[in-house]
Structure formats: C-alpha cells, structure tokens
Structure 1
C-alpha cells in the first residue's frame, strides 16, 4: 500500500476523474434514456400481457360457466324429451291394448251371436226332423194299432192313463 501512495499522481487522477465524469455524462445523455425507455416499454409490455392473461382467464371462466349452464339446460331438455317419449310410448301401448281388447270383444260377441244363430238353426232343423220322424212313427204305429179294434181300445185306455199321470 505504501507503493500506491508513492506512485500517486494528481494530474493523472484529475484526468481520469474528468474522463470518468465525461463518460458518465455521455452515458446519461445518450444511453441512459434509451435504456430506461426500453426498460419501461418492456415493463409496460409485460404488464399488458399480464392484464391480457387475466382478462383471458376471466373470459375463460365466464365461458366455462356459460358452457356448464348450457350443458345443464341440455341435460334438462334431454330428460324432458325422454320423459315425453316414455309417456307417448305408454299411451300408444295403452291405446293399442284398448283397441285390441275392443276388437277382441267385438269378435267374441259376433262369434257368440253366430254360434247362437247356428245353434237355433240346428235346433229348429233337429225339431223338424224329430217332428217328421215322430209323425212317420206315429203313422206307422197308428196304422198298425188301428187295424185291430181291441188294440184301439187298449191304446185309448193307456193314453188316458198317461194323461192323468202327467
């Protein structure tokens, strides 16, 4: 350290000080403002990007909320449509069952009427056949019975006895 004080020159010191002050002045005049302007522009750009990101985040949250709302509305509408479809299906099935039952009852009634009609017709035909056969048998019996006088009296007595019994 002693050498440092011995080699010290005031002229060199003053020249170096003037040069340093000149350099600081030149730097302040020409470089400091552009550097500071560039830094403030960069800071403003970063702040603008942060603001834009915050706005985008808010808008994204709003869009997500809108999407959730639309999704919920779509679910509700889908459920309503499914409910209506189920009700319509049930109504159509019930109507078809009712129509089929009505048709079946109508067909059964027609079949029963046809059966009753056929039954009456068959009974009438059977009665006419029985009556014809009875007449034929009666004719034959009467012819045979009436050919003899004793048999005629016996037939009359027997018929009188049966008539009083009934």
Structure 2
C-alpha cells in the first residue's frame, strides 16, 4: 500500500526542502536576519546607553561628592571666619571696656586729687581764720590792760636785736 517508493520520497523531500530553503532565503531570510540584526543593534544601543548612563551616574555621584566636600569646606571656612570675627569683636569690646574703665579711673583719680586739694585749701583757709580769731582774742585779752601792754612792749624790745 505504499504508493510512492521510499527513494522517491527522499528525492521529493530533498527537492521540496531545497525549494523551501531557496524561497525562505529569497523572501524570509533577509527580513528575519534584518529583524535579528535590528534587535541586536537596539540591544547593543540599549547596553551602550545603559553603560553611558551608569558612567554618567558615577560621574554625577563623584561631582555630587566633590560639591558636598566643597560645600563642607566652605561652611567650615565660614564658621571659622565667624568664630574669628566673634573672638575679635569680643577682644575689641574687652579692650574698649578696659580703656574706658582706665579712663574713668584716671578721671576719678584726678577728680579725687582735685577735691582733695580743694578741701585742703578750704581747711587751711578755715584754720587760718580760726587762728586769726584766736590770735585776735588772745591779743585783745593780753592788751586789755595797760600793764599787760607795757610788759608786752618790754618783752618785744628785749627780744629784738639792734644791728
């Protein structure tokens, strides 16, 4: 019940395969290879893009780290400048306060010395007035009688030396 001999089956199978292969090669092989090549190119482009993106991310991370380090350094410099300025302002304020205190003390010493001299002059003036009043009273008392006046004149003459 075999209608076709096995040798002819092999022959026709080979002929059909060759015809099918030629048709595939002529009409389907190039588009399939083109699609595969396009797919391969798009995958390669995607891989290159991914690699470039990864490199860009690495560069951005490095740039970010550099910028952060610069910002930290700038912040530290600004804080150091602010501390230095604060310390200078405090030192200047202390120096100014010390100078003002010294000026106030000097002025107080001068005022005290002036007040002391004024008080001494006033005291001398009062002592001189009191001395004059006492001397006037003593002299009046001494010279109130004629006998006492004569005794005083005689004693003054005795004390006086003639040249």
Smaller-chain TM-score bracket:
0.7 to 0.9
Deviation larger for 118-127 or 19-28: 19-28
How far apart are the structure 2 equivalents of 1:21 and 1:147?
180
Higher RCO (CA < 8 A, seq sep 6+): 1
Aligned position for 1:9: 4
| Equivalent residue number for residue 47 of structure 1 | 44
Tell me if 1:38 matches 2:57: no
Gaps of 5+ in 2: 152-163
TM-score, structure 2 as length reference: 0.78
Give me the TM-score of the superposition, normalised by structure 1.
Answer: 0.76
Q: Unaligned regions of 5+ residues in structure 1, if any?
A: 1-5, 154-166
Q: Report the equivalent of 2:124.
A: 127
CA distance in 1, matches of 2:105, 2:10: 134
Runs of 4+ in 1 over 4 A off after TM superposition: 10-16, 18-21
Partner of 2:92: 95
Please say if 1:60 is aligned against 2:49: no
Other-structure match for 1:82: 79
CA RMSD of aligned residues (A): 2.7
| Number of equivalent positions | 149
Q: Distance in 1 between matches of 2:20 and 2:11?
A: 12
